[in-house]
Structure formats: C-alpha cells, structure tokens
Structure 1
Amino acid sequence: MQEYHDGSVIDLVALVPMEHSKFLVRHCPSIAAVVILSRARCGLSKCVTCYLVAMAVTDLLVIVSAVILNRITGIFFINSLFSTTPACSFSTVMVYTSRDSSVWLTVAFTFDRFAAICCRQLKDSYCTKKTAAVVIAAVCVLSGVKNAPYYFIYQPLYTVDGVPWFCDYKLSFYTEPIWQAYDWLDRILTPSLPFLLIFVFNVLTIRHIFVSNRIRKALRGNKEREDGKDAEIENRRKSVILLFSISASFLFLWVTYVVNFIFIRIKGGSYFSGFSFGNPRYILQESANMLSTLSFCTNSIIYAVTQAKFRQELKKAVKYPLVVVENCLSRLK
C-alpha cells in the first residue's frame, strides 16, 4: 500500500492494469487537442485559441503529474528516487499547480466570452491575443506561488539509512491554525470561488444572449423568414455551446469535491486515509477525487463534440499516417 497527496490509498498490485489503460486513454485525446488547437485551423479567434491551447496543456500536465509522478512511479518504481519524500512533495506541488492553472484558465476563458458577448466596449481592448497571453502567464505563475506551501506539509513515512521515503501528512497540518486556514483558502480558491464565478458569468451571458436575440429577431422581422437562419445568431449559438459545455462539465465534476470538503469540515476530523470499499467516507472521498481528475480529461471530448472544424482536423490527423504510407507505397510501385 502507498498513500498519495489526495489522501487515497491504493492497492499497488490490483491497479497495475487499470493504470495502463488510464494512461493511454487520458493522454491521447489531450495530446491531440494540444496539437490540433495550436495549428489554429478550427475557425476560432486567436484569443479563444490561446485559452483553449493553454487549457489543453494544463489538463495534460495534470494527467502527467497525477498519473506518472503520483501513480505509475509508485507502482513500478517503489524504491526509486521518485518515492523519496522530497520528490513526492515536489510532485504534489506540480499536481496542485497544474490543477489550479487549469481551473482558473476555465474561469478566465468564461470571463473572456462574457466580455466578448456582453461588454462590447471591453471586447476590443480585452478580448485580444496579447491580453490572453498575459492572463494565462499570470494564472500559471500565481498558481505556482499559491501551491508552493504544499511542499512543506509532508513528513517521511519512514527513514532508511538517512533517506526519507514516501509522504505522510504532518500532524500539524490538522492542528495548527495557519495550516487550517491554508486548507480553507485552497478549497475556496479551487474550486469554490471558480464554481461561483463560472455560474455567475454564465447566467449573465445567457440573459444577455436571450435579450439580444429577441431584439435582433424583432428588428429583422419578415426578413429572417425570407433569408433563413441568421448568421449572427448562429455564430453566437456555436460559441455559447462550446463555452457552456466546458463550464457545465467543470461544475458537474467538481461538485462532489466541494461536498466532500464541506462534509469533513462540518463533521470534523481529517481526510480518510484507510482502504475500505464499504466505508461511506472513503466512497465519497474517492468519488470526489475521481470526478475532479476526470474534469481534466473531458475538454478534449467537448471540443470534438461541439466543434465541426475540430472534428475535421482530428480526422485529418488520424488519416495522415495512412496517407504517408499510401504515398510511399505508390512511389515504390
């Protein structure tokens, strides 16, 4: 058995096949999303493309740090450098930094679309590629600074020949007020505050779109029936589908995490570190961890489902190796 930063304990032998499948399933869509979106051929604005590429990269970093550094190394390299307490602590900082970056980039993307749709005066100055780059850099730097203290919350599980092995929460993490305040701050900043901000921005955006569409339809009158679909309304609809799909996925997959934190604080005690499939606290905690991690794997699927041009680029990417092989064979003939 080995304990991880999220408080969970896994059976190293039983999860070997599962970790292989997780690694393959999670990484391929994320890598494909980064490559396709970075080519900027999906018909999206430069500003939106910057946010989506950054979100795809941070999602991939979460998967790499959480799966490779915290799981696979613990299964296949139990007594390696990665299992020492400093390495374990550092990987935890990486997991939380990439996690917070992804979450707050979702908030930044939601606000960017809110500004573009609801605030015409702000759109020209804020919704630009340069602003997006500054916001992305600021989010990533601040996430790293905010999560640096996680390096100091662990102590060695045991020490052999002066070498500290594995990570175990210090007792002071549950008793000292400063760590209690930090734990509250962490849960408020991720995901409680983003949860609230995304909800508010989406409600305001929906309200604005409904009002604008009503006014536009009234002004067009019979012309809309003659010309067919309104191109402006259709473009808004496509943008909103992408925005709301990403936001709704985030809200749905993080709600259990919030419930678990509130339950622990109300009931008192610490995060569950046992291994019991029948224990309700264990089920709640592991469900929260699973769903919150899954939120970093869904954006690539959302791109494919909601964006026709993304699907076209994905098909081209899949067919490309076959085209290369076919060209090589035709030349040999």
Structure 2
Amino acid sequence: MWRLVPPVLIVFGIIGNVCTICVLLRSPKRLTSISLYLLVLACSDTVFLLNAPLRQWIRFVWSYDIRDQNNVLCKLSAYLTYATYHFSAWILVAVTMERVCAVLWPHRFKSMCTPKTSAVIIGVIFTGIVSLNAHVLYVVQLNDQLGVAQKSRCQVLNTAYEFFTTIWNWINFSAAFIIPFCLLFIGNIVIINGLRKSHKLQKRMSAVTSRANANQSSVTFVLILLSLLFFISQTPTIYFLYYPYHMKAKRQLPCDKYAQFIREEDTIWLIYTVTSLVSYINATLNSAIYIVSGRRLRGEILRMLRCQQSTGRALGESNPLSLYDVSEQAS
C-alpha cells in the first residue's frame, strides 16, 4: 500500500491545492476572510503532502529516508510533519467558527469577520503551533552512534523517549484531533440549526434575499463537507494513542511465542499503514471538496487554464445578513 497509495494522494492533492492557490491569488485585493483561510489551508496541506506521504513513499520504493541524511533534514522533516498537521486542523476550526459567527451574529458579521481579522487569527494560530512543536527540534535528531554496521537514523533522544511516546502523544492527539473535533462538532450543529431555521423562512423571502441566502448556504455546505472529511479521515488516528503500548506488549512476548510475535507485528503494521494513509486523505481532498462544491471557483479555474481574465468577483463571498433580514421580516 505504501508503494501505490501515496503517489495518488500526493498528485491529486497538490493539483487541487495549487489550482486553489493560483485562483485565489489572481485577485489578492478581493480576498474575503474565508478565501484567506482556504488559501492558507491549501498551502499548509501542500507542505504536509510534500513531507509526510512523499517521505514514506520514497522510503518504501527506494529504501531511502530523507530524515536519515543529515541532522537538519531530520529535525525539519519531523517538525513540519507535526506543525502542518496541527495547523491545518486549526485553520479548519477557525473558518468554521467564522461561519458560526455568521449564524449567531449576522448583522455584525461584516464588521467582525474581515480579512484583517482573519489574518490576525491565522497569525495567532501559527504562533501557537510553532511554539507547541518547538521541542521537536530538540528531542529529534540524527543518531550516529548505532555502530559501524548500521547507518545513522533520525530518532527521538533516549532521554526524551518516555515523554515523546506518552505525554507528547496525548498532547499531539489533543491538538490535532480531540479539541478540533469537539469545536467542529459543536460549530457544525450551530451552523446546521441556523440553516434549518433559514430554510423555514425561505418562502417569505424576496428573490434577491433568496439568492443571498443560497450563497450563504453554498459556502456553509462546503465547510460542513470539510468538517465531515476531517471527522472521517482523522478518527482512526485514535490508534496512535495505543500504538506505543501495542508495540511494548509485542516486545514483551516470550521467545517461545515467536509465531504470535510475527502475527502481532503484521497486525500492528497493517493498522499503522491503513490509519496513516486514511489520515493523509484529509490533506488531499480539502481543496477537491472546495473545487467540486464551488461553482464560482471552478469557473475561475477554467478561465485561468484558458488564459482568460478573472471575473474579479470575490470567491467565498456570501451575505450573512440574509438570515438576519429574514428574521426581521418574520418578526
């Protein structure tokens, strides 16, 4: 699986992310707050795809690990894997919370959620993620004391191994999945409830207000799909919490249990492989969902491929005031 699946994920993911980035940067002055989040998300996913799955694929095809070449690559590759993984999850949380603001405070949305506000939030998330993962640059390093017969390997320091496989494992999982999962789950409930109320009032809308509400529903639908993809692809990573204990139990098997040892090793490797590959799908399909669901973005991509001028319309734009206007009409 490591030989076949990663190239597909990498190629499709990078094509989708690059198309999204190029289209959004065609009109940088017309970037909306949501477009800015999606632009940053596409960049983060691209870095992740060029690091984690690409490294593993090269490892299994050519038996060459980029992390084992020198200490800089060892530290940088490990750091970027964790940092981009966390960063993408929290950007998705940020853009979902923006939609929550559009539902809860539609009349104040335009003043609250501006591109400048989004840039500040992205900066705060970036600073937090950089700080959270800073220790990786210290505890992961090239071990060149394995003996003459063995090559140097990128490993966690022996003094930090216990921390890395227990405490950090929980911190990493909480930052990458548990906390984002809870926030996305609550946020999507609020958003779906707001859409349900909006659709009930749709019959009393004018044609203009209906179109505005349809725009909002379209953008919100994309974000719900992105959240659903996150839930599906990241939930299996719960296994990584058990992985160190599973490995420890395997190593403690007595010598006369060799057949069981081999079975356990095969089971661990299969679960680890499937879980890892499924988790990579998130970075591959984020932009694909946005492209497939966004009619305006698809149109801009076609114009770009045909070397035609952009329409100049802001992508990801919606009118959150529509829900507020309808509520006012109904009262």
Q: Does residue 310 of the first structure (1) align with residue 297 of the second (2)?
A: yes
Conserved 8 A contact 1:242-1:303: yes
The verdict on how the C-alpha distance between 1:168 and 1:295 changes in structure 2, with shifts beyond 3 A counting, is same
1:235 to 215, 219, 223: 215
Conserved 8 A contact 2:9-2:284: no
CA distance in 2, matches of 1:81, 1:142: 25
1:99 to 58, 77, 85: 85
* Larger displacement relative to structure 2 (248-257 or 271-280): 271-280
Where does residue 229 of structure 2 map in the other structure?
249
Q: CA deviation at 1:72?
A: 3.8
Where does residue 57 of structure 1 map in the other structure?
43
CA distance in 1, matches of 2:268, 2:230: 23
* Larger displacement relative to structure 2 (103-112 or 234-243): 234-243
Q: CA deviation at 1:164?
A: 7.9
Conserved 8 A contact 1:242-1:306: yes
CA distance in 2, matches of 1:128, 1:276: 55
**TM-score, normalization by structure 1:** 0.75
1:320 to 288, 297, 307: 307
CA RMSD of aligned residues (A): 3.6
Conserved 8 A contact 2:68-2:142: no
Where does residue 325 of structure 2 map in the other structure?
none
For residues 47-73 of structure 1, the C-alpha deviation after alignment (integer angstroms, 9 at most, x for no partner) is 111111111111111112224556548
Identical counterparts, % of pairs: 18
Q: CA deviation at 1:36?
A: 1.0
CA distance in 2, matches of 1:107, 1:241: 15
Q: CA deviation at 1:87?
A: 1.8
Q: CA deviation at 1:45?
A: 6.4
Conserved 8 A contact 1:37-1:53: yes
Q: Does residue 114 of the first structure (1) align with residue 100 of the second (2)?
A: yes
CA distance in 2, matches of 1:306, 1:211: 22
Report matched runs for 1:68-107 at 5 Å: 68=54, 71-72=57-58, 78=64, 83-107=69-93
- One-letter code aligned to 2:234: W
The verdict on how the C-alpha distance between 1:124 and 1:30 changes in structure 2, with shifts beyond 3 A counting, is closer
Q: Does residue 213 of the first structure (1) align with residue 213 of the second (2)?
A: no
Where does residue 134 of structure 2 map in the other structure?
148
Conserved 8 A contact 2:75-2:141: no
Where does residue 279 of structure 1 map in the other structure?
266
- SS of 1:148's equivalent in the other structure is coil
The verdict on how the C-alpha distance between 1:228 and 1:40 changes in structure 2, with shifts beyond 3 A counting, is closer
Q: CA deviation at 1:203?
A: 0.4
CA distance in 2, matches of 1:310, 1:139: 26
Task: Structure 2: state its 5+ residue gaps.
Answer: 252-260, 309-331
Where does residue 240 of structure 2 map in the other structure?
261
- SS of 1:297's equivalent in the other structure is helix
1:34 to 11, 17, 21: 21
Task: Structure 1: state its 5+ residue gaps.
Answer: 1-9, 322-333
For residues 205-233 of structure 1, the C-alpha deviation after alignment (integer angstroms, 9 at most, x for no partner) is 1112212332454xx2xx77xx6992243
- One-letter code aligned to 2:77: S
CA distance in 1, matches of 2:34, 2:114: 9
The verdict on how the C-alpha distance between 1:289 and 1:122 changes in structure 2, with shifts beyond 3 A counting, is farther
Where does residue 324 of structure 2 map in the other structure?
none
Where does residue 330 of structure 1 map in the other structure?
none
Conserved 8 A contact 2:5-2:277: no
The verdict on how the C-alpha distance between 1:195 and 1:80 changes in structure 2, with shifts beyond 3 A counting, is closer
Q: CA deviation at 1:317?
A: 2.7
**TM-score, normalization by structure 2:** 0.75
Report matched runs for 1:141-220 at 5 Å: 141-154=127-140, 156-159=142-145, 165-176=152-163, 180-217=166-203, 220=204
CA distance in 1, matches of 2:212, 2:6: 46
CA distance in 2, matches of 1:142, 1:272: 36
Alignment length, in residue pairs?
A: 296
Q: Does residue 24 of the first structure (1) align with residue 4 of the second (2)?
A: no
Conserved 8 A contact 2:233-2:278: yes
